[in-house]
Amino acid sequence: MGLLIFSRGRSVKVGLAGAIAFLNADTPLGIWTLPNLVLAGGLAWLLKEEYPTSVWHSLRSPSHHKVIQGTVS
């Protein structure tokens, strides 16, 4: 699921949906897993976004390097 979330387009949404399903299935195991619902809510919020580029492509882009080096105004 993590690799799907780091990809782009529809694959990201499939990965997020799988992570939400996993977190919700894991929640009934005990009181210590209740924060999973909060995390699943955050992932559900991310589902409404579009992801045209992957994380890897974003990290390799020249504009990302400028931000890291502090040259972007």
| Beta strand segments in 1-73, E | none
pLDDT higher than 90, residue 43: yes
Token pair for residue 67?
A: 């931000």
Tell me: pLDDT of 64 over 60.
no
Domain boundaries, the chain: 2-69
Model pLDDT, residue 3:
87
Tokens of 60: 């390799």
Q: How confident is the prediction for the chain on average, in pLDDT?
A: 83
Structure-block tokens of residue 44: 């559900």
Q: How confident is residue 57, by pLDDT bands cut at 50, 70 and 90?
A: confident
The SS3 assignment for 60 reads helix
- Tens of pLDDT, residue by residue over 4-21, are 989 999 999 999 999 999
